Amino acid sequence: MTENRIAIAIGSDHAGFRLKESLRDSLGEMGYAVKDVGTYSEESCDYPDLALAVAETVAQGEADKGVLVCGTGAGMAMAANKVPGIRAVACNEPYTAEYCRLHNDANVLALAGRSVDEATAFAIADAFLATAFEGGRHQRRVDQITGMESQP
Ligand code: RB5
């Protein structure tokens, strides 16, 4: 096992709870430092609360990357993207996860607990976490996105 101290904040709502639990344990076994912000049961809860917790942990530099799981990944990505500095992407396959790191410097991955099987989710998370941002011309474009945060 490669010791890897990249810090990850992970969170889910009730729909993503089971996948979040599996991912948290697997990523921890892979050597990532994983902070689980909840939810901690399958009791119904509101996904924006968990998206905010993960997004703020990443935006404040307490984690390098965030992983969120809800039913579709969509609501989590929408909510996380309201936090300045966050570039969250809902991914259903590894290709998007790889390229949103290479080209978009995405820092939060959102997964669909109700439509993506566990093995695929692990492959998506692995692609996301193992891929570095390419920079270069892509940095200019990411800077343009960041610039939108301060537009009136
Ligand atoms: C919960 O039923 C569901 O709406 C939520 O997990 C998520 O899919 C929203 O985007």
Total Cβ atoms within 10 A of residue 95 = 11
The number of CA neighbours under 13 Å toward the Cβ of 114 is: 9
Catalytic residue among 45, 91, 100, 103: 103
**Exposed (0-12), middle (13-18) or buried (19+): which is 65, by Cβ within 10 Å?**
buried
Q: What integer pLDDT is reported at residue 1 of this predicted model?
A: 41
- The rounded Å distance from CA 141 to ligand 1 centre is 30
Index of the ligand 1 atom closest to the CA of residue 13: 6
Is residue 70 part of the annotated active site? The answer reads yes
Span 100-110, average pLDDT: 98
* Mean pLDDT of the region 53-69: 98
Write down the pLDDT at residue 2: 46
Between the CA of 5 and the centroid of ligand 1 the distance, in Å, is: 31
What is the H or E stretch that residue 12 is in?
strand 7-12
Atom nearest to 114 CA in ligand 1: 8
The predicted pLDDT at position 151 comes to 86
Spatial contact of 77 and 106, defined as CB atoms under 8 Å apart: no
Q: What is the pTM of this model?
A: 0.96
